[in-house]
A and B are shown apart, each in its own frame.
Chain A
Amino acid sequence: MTDTTRKTVVETAAGAAPPAPAPPPRRARVRRGVTPWLFLIAPLALLVTFTYAPVANMLAYSFTDWDGVSPELHYTGAGNYTEIFTREDLFRVFFVSGYYLAASAVQIIAALYFATILSFNVRFRNFFKGVLFFPYLINGVAIGFVFLYFFQDGGTLDSVLSLFGVRTDHAWLGTPFSANTALAGVSVWRYLGLNFVLLLGAIQSIPGELYEAAELDGANRWHQFRHIIAPGIKPVLTLTVILSISGSLSVFEIPYIMTGGATGTETFVIQTVNLAFRFGKTGLASAAAVVLLLIILLVTWIQRRLVPDDKVDLV
C-alpha cells in the first residue's frame, strides 16, 4: 500500500515539475535539523543510561574476576567465557526452559483462539477482554505469592478440586515435573493477556469489508480465519513467537519467588543471579548474561531465516 502511494507522489512530482521553491534560510534549516533531536534527548538519555550503559558495563565486567563489591578487579581475558563453555552443568538448566517453551505454544494458541472469538461480535466481549488482560497488569512478585498459596497443601487449588469431589494428596510443587508444569502454568496465566491483546489488535486492523466480501462468497468462520485473519496477523504472530522463545529462555520472576529454584526449577537467569550474588562471581555471571543474550539473538536470527517476514498484502 505504501509503495503505490509513494509511486504516485514521485510520478506527479516528475510529471508536473512545479517551480522549485527557494531553499529556506540557513538558520531555519539548522533549526529544522535540530528539532527532532531535541525531542529525542529525553528518551535517548533514558535509553542510554538505563539500557546501553549497564549493558556496556556488564560486557566490561564479563572480562574480569570482579566479585561485585571489592574495589579491586582484575582483567581475566576470555577466562569467564571459557569456564562457561567448558562446564556443562551451567547449561543443564536450559532443559527447564523446555517446559516454558511448551507452555508458550499453548499460550499462543489460546491467545489466538480468544483473540479470534472476541474479534467477532460476542456478548460481554469487553468484559472478557478485561478478564484476559488483567493478570498481565499485576506485579510478577505478587503473582508469585498468590500462586504460592494457590498450590499450598490444602490451598486454593486443593479446595477447588475438592468441590468437584476430587481429593488428591498431590504436592503440586513437590516433584520437578509437577513443579515446573505448575510454574509454567502460572506463566501462561500471566502472559496470555499480552499475547491476546497483540493478536486482537492485529485482527481488528483488518478492514471489515473483507469479512463482508468473504461472507457474500459463502465463506464460514473457519474460512475467514484461514484465509483472512491468519495471513493478516502473520507479522504480529512472528513477533509473539520470538517474544515467547526469548521469554522462555530467560524466565526468572515466577520460579524465583515461588520456589527459589529448588526442586529442579532453576532457570538460567536464577543460576546467573546466584552466581553473582551468592557466590560473588559477578564476572562469571556477567559472562553468562552475555551468553544468554547471544543465544537469544541467535535463536531469533535462525527463526527470521526460517520464517522470513514477508510483506502482507490482503487486498
Chain B
Amino acid sequence: MNRRHILAMVVGTALLVPACTGTGGSSQGAEAEAPDDPSKVTGTIQVLTVRTDLIQDGTLKRYAAEFNKVYPKVKVEFDGLTDYEAEVKIRMNTKNYGDVLLIPAVIKKADYPKFFASLGTQEERGKKYRFTDFTTVDGKVYGQSPVGVSPGFVYNKRIWREAGVTEWPTTPAEFLDDLKAIKAKTDAIPYYTNFAAGWTLSGWTSVNGSVHCDPKATDKLAEGDPWAKGADLRVGDTLLHDMVKQGLVEKDPTTSNWEESKARTAKGEIATQWLGTWAIVQFKDAAKKAGVNPDDIGFMPFPAQVDGKFCSVIGPDYNQGINIHSPHKEAARAWIDWFTDKSGYVEDNLAISPLKGAPLPEVMKPYEAAGVKFIEVNDAKGAQVKQIDSDSEVGINAPEYRQNLVDLARGARDGSLDDFFADLSKRWTDARKNLGS
C-alpha cells in the first residue's frame, strides 16, 4: 500500500464521519394563527407553486395585488417549480422551503407536524372546509386545498353524438359498446391513453370510490385487496385493459403526446380521456386556440351506478401548508385563508369550491341534472395506504403498473390479466401483513 492509497483512505473516512451523524431533532407543533387585524400583518412571504404558467402570464401577480388591498403590508413572492415533487423534496431537507407551499405527496402524513404549522383543529375547520381529513394528524389540520376536483371522462360531445350515443353509459360494458360505436361511425380515436405521459394513467386510481359509491373506499385499500374481484381498482383497471385489448385506443400509445391531445380532443380527433374536472378549463382553452367550439367539451362520471345513480368522488388538489420554520406564519396564514375563501381562484378554474355548501361550477350542471351523487372519500387511513403502496412497490399513484397493464393488453408483455392482478394482490397483501394491520 503506497502513500497515495493511505491518503485516499484517510480522506474517505474523514468524510464518512460527518455524513453518519445525519439530521437531528426539529421543532414540532407550531401553530399558524389567523391574524386579527389585517392592516398590522407584515412580512415578505414566498409561495411555492406548480403553476409556472400562472406566474408567466401574470395571473398570480394579479391575485397578490388583490390580496394587498386587504393586507397592505404583506409582500407576496411566487416561486414556480416545474418538477415540483423532486425539487421541493430536496429543499425540505433544509429549513428553506418557502413560507407557503403545496404539501408534496412524498411526505408521510405522520411527519406533517415536523414540517408544517397547524392551521387549527379539525373540529373547528371541518365546519367550514371540505377535505380536512386529508391533512389531519392527531386532530390538527396542516393544509387546505384551494380547489376540489372530481375525476371523470373528458369527452367530445359532438363525436359521441355522431356515434349515436346520447346517454352516459352506466356500466363498463356499455361504455365499451359506445366506444365501439365511435370507432365504427366516426374517424375519432375512441379513447386516448396518454401512455407516454404516465401520470395520466396513474389517474385511474381515482376510480376508487366511484364504482361502489363508497366513502370508505380508502379504508378498503388499507384493509383489503384492491384487486379482488369486484373491487374498485380492479373494475377500473379491467375497463382500461379491455379498451386497449379491443383496439379502442390510439395506435401507438408509447409515443402519445399530452399537450397535443388537448387540441385533438377539442377538434374531435380524440373522443374520450379519463382525467378530472381540473382538465376541463385546459381543454376549453385548447378548443378556443384551435378555433373550435369549446362547448363540445363534456364531462362524464365513471360508468357505474349504485341504486340507479352515478357517483362522483370529490377530493382535494394539492393542499397548501405553512413552513414550520417560517418567520411570518401570520402572513402566510392570511394568504392561505384569503386564497381559499376570497381569491376567485375556484371560479377562474371552473373548479369545485373547497367551502362547504358552495354552489357547483357551471360545468358540473349536467351532473346535477343527471342526479349524480357527490361523495367525499374518507382519508383517515390514507397514510397507511401510502405506506403499503411504498413497501409493496406497486405504486398505485405511479404510472408503471398501468403501463405494464396496457402493454399486457396490447400483447407487448406476456401473461394473463388474472395473473397480473393476482401478482398485484399478492404484493399488496404481503406488504400489508408485514405492516401488521
| Residues of chain A within 8 A of B89, CB atoms compared | 68-69, 277
**Is the Cβ of B395 less than 8 Å from the Cβ of A278?**
yes
Q: How far is the CA of A67 from the CA of B109 in the complex (A)?
A: 13
**Is the Cβ of A174 less than 8 Å from the Cβ of B252?**
yes
| Residues of chain B within 8 A of A66, CB atoms compared | 22
Q: Does B44 contact A (CB under 8 A)?
A: no
| Residues of chain B within 8 A of A100, CB atoms compared | none
| Residues of chain B within 8 A of A281, CB atoms compared | 390
Query: Could you tell me the distance in whole angstroms from the C-beta of B191 to the nearest C-beta in chain A?
Result: 16
Chain A to chain B contacts (Cβ below 8 Å), 30 pairs: A52-B11, A53-B19, A57-B19, A60-B16, A67-B106, A68-B106, A69-B92, A69-B106, A70-B108, A71-B25, A71-B111, A153-B252, A169-B251, A173-B254, A174-B410, A175-B412, A179-B254, A260-B198, A262-B195, A262-B196, A262-B198, A263-B403, A263-B407, A263-B413, A264-B413, A274-B400, A278-B395, A279-B393, A280-B106, A280-B390
Q: Does A59 contact B (CB under 8 A)?
A: yes
**Is the Cβ of B255 less than 8 Å from the Cβ of A48?**
no
Q: How far is the CA of A175 from the CA of B106 in the complex (A)?
A: 32
Q: How far is the CA of A160 from the CA of B271 in the complex (A)?
A: 30
Q: Does A73 contact B (CB under 8 A)?
A: yes
- Look across to chain B and name the residue whose beta carbon is closest to the beta carbon of A56: B15
Asked if A71 meets B26 with Cβ closer than 8 Å, knowing A171-B251, A263-B254, the reply is yes
Query: Could you tell me the distance in whole angstroms from the C-beta of B37 to the nearest C-beta in chain A?
Result: 35
Q: Does B114 contact A (CB under 8 A)?
A: yes
Judged by DSSP, the binding face of A is loop
Q: Does B12 contact A (CB under 8 A)?
A: yes
Query: Could you tell me the distance in whole angstroms from the C-beta of A261 to the nearest C-beta in chain B?
Result: 7
Selected from A69, A263, A264, A275, the residue in CB contact (under 8 A) with B93 is A69
Q: Does B181 contact A (CB under 8 A)?
A: no
**Is the Cβ of B108 less than 8 Å from the Cβ of A67?**
yes
Q: Does A187 contact B (CB under 8 A)?
A: no
- Look across to chain A and name the residue whose beta carbon is closest to the beta carbon of B254: A173
Binding site for B on A (CB under 8 A): 48, 52-53, 56-57, 59-60, 64, 66-73, 148, 151-153, 155, 169, 171-176, 179, 259-264, 274-275, 277-281
- Look across to chain B and name the residue whose beta carbon is closest to the beta carbon of A265: B254
| Residues of chain B within 8 A of A52, CB atoms compared | 11-12, 15
Besides the known contacts A48-B11, A59-B16, 12 further A-B residue pairs in the complex with CB atoms under 8 A apart = A52-B12, A70-B111, A72-B23, A148-B196, A148-B255, A175-B412, A179-B254, A260-B196, A262-B198, A264-B412, A278-B395, A279-B393
| Residues of chain B within 8 A of A171, CB atoms compared | 251-252, 254-255
Q: Does B107 contact A (CB under 8 A)?
A: yes
**Is the Cβ of B252 less than 8 Å from the Cβ of A173?**
yes
Q: Please, how many residues of chain B have a CB less than 8 angstroms from a CB on the other chain? A: 44
Q: Does B34 contact A (CB under 8 A)?
A: no
Judged by DSSP, the binding face of B is loop
Binding site for A on B (CB under 8 A): 11-12, 15-16, 19-20, 22-26, 85-86, 89, 92-93, 106-108, 111, 114, 195-196, 198, 250-252, 254-255, 257, 389-391, 393, 395, 398-400, 403-404, 407, 410, 412-413
| Residues of chain A within 8 A of B107, CB atoms compared | 69
Q: How far is the CA of A148 from the CA of B196 in the complex (A)?
A: 10
Q: How far is the CA of A59 from the CA of B16 in the complex (A)?
A: 8
Q: How far is the CA of A175 from the CA of B15 in the complex (A)?
A: 45
Selected from A70, A262, A280, the residue in CB contact (under 8 A) with B400 is A262
**Which 10 pairs between the two chains have the least Cβ-Cβ distance?**
A56-B15, A173-B254, A153-B252, A171-B252, A262-B403, A152-B255, A60-B19, A279-B390, A57-B19, A175-B412
| Residues of chain A within 8 A of B407, CB atoms compared | 262-264
Asked if A260 meets B413 with Cβ closer than 8 Å, knowing A67-B108, A73-B23, the reply is no
Q: How far is the CA of A252 from the CA of B217 in the complex (A)?
A: 37
Q: How far is the CA of A68 from the CA of B403 in the complex (A)?
A: 26
**Is the Cβ of A278 less than 8 Å from the Cβ of B398?**
yes
Q: How far is the CA of A152 from the CA of B251 in the complex (A)?
A: 10
Q: How far is the CA of A290 from the CA of B352 in the complex (A)?
A: 47
**Is the Cβ of B23 less than 8 Å from the Cβ of A152?**
no
| Residues of chain A within 8 A of B16, CB atoms compared | 56, 59-60
**Is the Cβ of B255 less than 8 Å from the Cβ of A173?**
yes
**Is the Cβ of B19 less than 8 Å from the Cβ of A56?**
yes
**Is the Cβ of A262 less than 8 Å from the Cβ of B19?**
no
Q: How far is the CA of A311 from the CA of B404 in the complex (A)?
A: 51
- Look across to chain A and name the residue whose beta carbon is closest to the beta carbon of B23: A71
Asked if A53 meets B15 with Cβ closer than 8 Å, knowing A67-B108, A264-B413, the reply is yes
| Residues of chain B within 8 A of A179, CB atoms compared | 254
| Residues of chain A within 8 A of B413, CB atoms compared | 176, 263-264
Q: How far is the CA of A280 from the CA of B398 in the complex (A)?
A: 12
Selected from B108, B250, B255, B389, the residue in CB contact (under 8 A) with A151 is B255
Q: How far is the CA of A168 from the CA of B257 in the complex (A)?
A: 21
Query: Could you tell me the distance in whole angstroms from the C-beta of B46 to the nearest C-beta in chain A?
Result: 19
| Residues of chain B within 8 A of A151, CB atoms compared | 255
| Residues of chain B within 8 A of A172, CB atoms compared | 252, 255
Query: Could you tell me the distance in whole angstroms from the C-beta of B91 to the nearest C-beta in chain A?
Result: 10
Query: Could you tell me the distance in whole angstroms from the C-beta of A182 to the nearest C-beta in chain B?
Result: 10
| Residues of chain B within 8 A of A48, CB atoms compared | 11, 15
